[in-house]
Amino acid sequence: MKKFFLLSVFTLGLMLMARVADAQVHFYVNVEPPIPVYVHPVAPSPAHVWVGDEFVWVNGAYVHHPGYWTVPPRGYHVWVPGHWKREGGRGSYWIPGHWRR
């Protein structure tokens, strides 16, 4: 019985930690940084998908990362681009791009 209780507590702890890890932190800005305009290169092969520009929070500011060609992970086919989301009086934050099946 004691082993079952300890295993239950351990499992519950893991579930809570996973839930906290899923929580998304938003970094708000009043002015969205501009996305540089450029022409992306030709795809290296028909299997490649363009992963668009992203913004990453580094040392208190969003830093631009240019797009690139890549082969999608197995089982995924479409890259959903990241975008800015405005939230009330708090400002805007970046929602990262992600793969979709």
Output the average pLDDT for the chain: 82
Check residue 79 and give its pLDDT: 96
Q: Is the pLDDT of residue 41 over 60?
A: yes
Task: Give 25's pLDDT tier (boundaries 50, 70, 90).
Answer: confident
The partner residues of 87 in beta bridges, in order of sequence, read: 91
For residue 52, count other CB atoms closer than 10 A to its CB. Answer: 16
62 phi, psi to nearest 5 deg:
-80, 135
Give the mean pLDDT of 43-55: 95
Q: 21-43 burial, b if ≥16 CB within 10 A, otherwise e? A: eeeeeeeebeeeeeeeeeeeeee
Tokens coding 47: 């299997």
